Amino acid sequence: MTTPAPSPRSAPEYALLHYGIHYYDTAGLRLRRHGLTLSRVGPSWQLDRGDGRGCRVEAPASDQVPHELRRLVRAYSRDLELTQVTGPCTRLLTQDAWPAGTARAMVLGYLETQIEALARADLAVRLGEPEGVHDLRVAARRIRAALRTFAPVLGGRRLVRGLCASLRWLGAGVGPARDTEVQRHRFSRRLDQVPEEAVVGPVRADAERHFGAAAEESASECAEVLDSHRYLQLLNALEVFGVVLREQPRSDQGKAALKPAGSVLPRLVWTVVAETDRRLEAVFHESAPKSVHAVRKSAKRLRYALEAAAEAMPFVPDRVLADCRALQDLLGEYQDSVVAREELRALASAASVAGKPVSTYELLITTEVHAAQRCVAALPAAWETLRQGLEPLRS
């Protein structure tokens, strides 16, 4: 009787049988706690993010995690040693017991969500994903806005001041990478709208070189920031901040922290409404870019504060948040037009020095001036719509 020949195995199956699979993590299982799995089969290293995405790195069959992978998970490992652990790294996120419904509990829950989003965006940036820088900057802004707005329930402004300064530094360091791409696409879109006969000189090619050089420089700066010791200190400080506040004895907490969220947070959000109101008054009297930018910062802070305290608001927040986003989009369009004019003037200046025509750049500058004027004209109505929805916060 003939024994059937065994069916040939696939390469991954053979590798598993031949080498075995090894898992890696920090001693405190920091990757596992955030749903990441780092494994090795022979010379093949795999990082899985728990959402079906990840990356593979080929390296010598060694127990030392390759530098490329150690850098990718830095926001999670915090440069701690990655060694072999037993079993696959299933998600083990836990929350300490905490009085539900208090002002501090709601704000801390939001902050922890955004700190997790910051780490995910960090990994996305390092993997070269298109929205990574944008997501990282937004997470940093949300954390900073929550710290500033809700400082009274988090231990006071002095406690959060250093964190806010470091978050501002982080945003300034990674922001240019995103801003350059926004301006590159904006220029291309504007140029596509110009009649062909009005495009004089090698405008598109010169602009592509300009934005390409800026993109390389900003990407290098972004990488330097994320690999810096100060960034690691910020991540550790945010984690320690949350732990300290969660473990602080009730007797050491201020009254605001222990009150129901609905009796404290709306009043704090209203302070941001009042700030935005004052800054808009300045714009209505003098629509200078600096004044409009100040309103934009307040509008962002207002939106993030509303998101953080949504469940404590005295109204259904969806419509108000939609109006808030509409105002923010208007202010963002204005700011993009201001930055676009600066870029166009730089391009025109370089073209003039090289003896090239500048008429196309002048036409685009005029287009951006008109775009900014339309935004300023639309601000009063957009703010009035949002302001009416926010009125319940006053009481």
User: How much of the chain is helix, strand and coil, in % rounded to 5?
Assistant: 70, 5, 25
Q: Are residues 321 and 207 in the same domain?
A: yes
**Tokens in use for 253?**
């907490």
Based on the fold, state whether residues 113 and 239 are members of the same structural domain: yes
Q: Would you say the pTM of this structure is higher than 0.75? A: yes
What single-letter DSSP state applies at residue 325? H
Asked if the structure places residue 98 within a domain, the reply is no
- Give the start-end residues of each E strand in 75-232: 83-85
CATH number at residue 336: 1.40.20.10
Domain assignment present for 95: no
Do 144 and 237 belong together in one domain?
Answer: yes
Looking at the structure, do residues 61 and 157 belong to the same domain, yes or no? no
Are residues 211 and 259 part of one domain? yes
Q: Note whether 321 and 185 are same-domain residues.
A: yes
**Number of structural domains found in the chain:** 2
Quote the pLDDT of residue 18.
46
Residue 89 is predicted with a pLDDT of 52
Residue type, 11: A
Structural domain contains residue 7: no
| Domain identity same for 234 and 336 | yes
Tell whether 51 and 166 lie within a shared domain: no
157 and 326 Cβ atoms separated by less than 8 Å: no
For residue 259, give its domain range: 103-394
Residue 3 lies in a domain: no
Helix 157-192 to helix 359-390 angle, to the nearest 10 degrees? 130
Give the model confidence (pLDDT) of 223-279 as tens digits. 999 999 999 999 999 999 999 998 888 888 889 999 999 999 999 999 999 999 999
- 110 and 146 assigned to the same domain: yes
Burial (CB < 10 A; 0-12, 13-18, 19+), residue 315, is middle
197 and 61 co-located in one domain: no
Residues 107 and 172 in one domain: yes
List pLDDT tens digits, range 283-317: 877 768 889 999 999 999 999 999 999 999 999 89
- 301: Cβ contacts below 8 Å, ≥ 6 apart: 145, 148, 149, 272, 275
| 94 inside domain | no
Strand order in the sheet with 44-48: 54-58, 44-48, 37-41, 21-25, 83-85
Residue 67 domain flag = yes
* One domain for residues 193 and 56: no
Helix (H) or strand (E) holding 267: helix 261-285
